[in-house]
Amino acid sequence: MSPATGTAGLPLIEQSADVDPTADLGAGTRVWHLAQVRERASIGSGCILGRGSYIGPGVVLGSNCKIQNYALLYEPAVLEDGVFVGPAVVFTNDVFPRAVNPDWTRKEAEDWHPVGVHVSTGASIGARAVCIAPVRIGRWALVAAGAVVTADVPDHAIVAGVPARRVGWVGRSGIPLQKDEDGRLTCPATGERFHEQDGVLVQEPEPE
C-alpha cells in the first residue's frame, strides 16, 4: 500500500488520487489510488472511493457509501447514505449526447443541460451496470451486474437485463425475499415481512 495522507477521524487520501481543493470529504472517508474527485463534490463520512473511480463536479454522496474500482459518477448524481456502486458502473448525465452542435461548433457547458442519477438509501448497483439519467433508484433496491437502467426502480426491487426489468424483491440485508404460503414475502436474514400492492412493496408492522 502506498503512503496516504490523513489521521484518525480525517479523510485518508492516497498520494496518486486527484482531489480538488474545493471538494468536501467527510471524516474517515478513504480515497484510493488514481481516484478523481472533482470540484465542489460533497462526500460524506466513512465512504470508500476505489481505485480509478471518478466523482464528477458537484456530485453528492451521503455517509458510508462504497464506490468500487473504476466506477464513473457524472454530475449531478446524488447518492444517499449507505449506497454501494460496483466496479465499472457508469452514471450518465446527457440525454442527447453530441460532441458538436448542428452548426459544427464544439459543444460547451452552456450548450446542454446535465441530468443526474439519484440513488436512495441502502441501494446497490452491480458491476458494469449503466444507469441512464434521469433515473431514480429506490431505497434498498438491487441493480444486477450488467443491467442498463432506463426507468425508475422501486424501493426494494431487484432489476436485471437490458433494459432492466424487475425480477424480484430484496430486503435490507441484500438477500432476495422469499414468498410464503400466504403470498407474503419474508427476508430470510431479518425476518421482516412485506406484501406487494399495485407493484409496490409494503413492509408490514412487526407483531406486538
Cell of 89: 458502473
Question: How far is the C-alpha of 49 from the C-alpha of 186, rounded, in Å?
Answer: 33
Asked if residue 181 belongs to a domain, the reply is: no
- pTM of the predicted model over 0.85: yes
**Over pLDDT 70: what percentage of the chain?**
95
What angle (nearest 5°) sits at the alpha carbon of residue 71, between those of residues 9 and 132? 125
Q: Which residue has the higher pLDDT, 33 or 183?
A: 33
| Model confidence band, residue 139 (pLDDT cutoffs 50, 70, 90) | very high
For residue 184, tell me if it sits in a domain: no
Is residue 191 a part of any domain in this protein? no
Based on its alpha-carbon atoms, the radius of gyration of the chain, rounded to whole angstroms, reads: 19
> Does pLDDT of 67 surpass 60?
yes
- Per the CB < 8 A criterion, the answer to whether 126 and 141 are in contact is no
Question: Is residue 189 in some structural domain?
Answer: no
CA 135 to CA 72: how far, in whole Å? 16
Report the pLDDT averaged over residues 154-179. 96
Q: Is residue 200 part of a domain?
A: no
CATH number for position 136: 2.160.10.10
Amino acid at 53: S
**13, 32 contact by CB (below 8 A):** no
Specify if 201 maps to a domain.
no
- The Cβ of residue 177 has, within 10 Å, a number of other Cβ atoms equal to 22
- The pLDDT, as a whole number, for residue 109 is 86
Cα–Cα distances (Å) from 74 to 55, 56, 116, 183, in that order, read 6, 5, 8, 40
How many domains are contained in the chain?
Answer: 1
Q: Is residue 196 in a domain?
A: no
Q: In whole numbers, what is the pLDDT of the chain averaged over residues?
A: 93
Output the DSSP codes for 81-96: TT-EE-TT-EE---SS
Least confident of 33-42, 70-79, 197-206: 197-206
pLDDT band at 5 (very low <50, low <70, confident <90, very high): very low
Structural domain range at position 107: 4-174
Instruction: Confirm whether 194 is domain-assigned.
Output: no
Pairing of strands 178-179, 18-19: unpaired
Nearest Cα to Cα of residue 25 among 15, 40, 14: 40
| pLDDT band per the 50, 70, 90 thresholds, residue 144 | very high
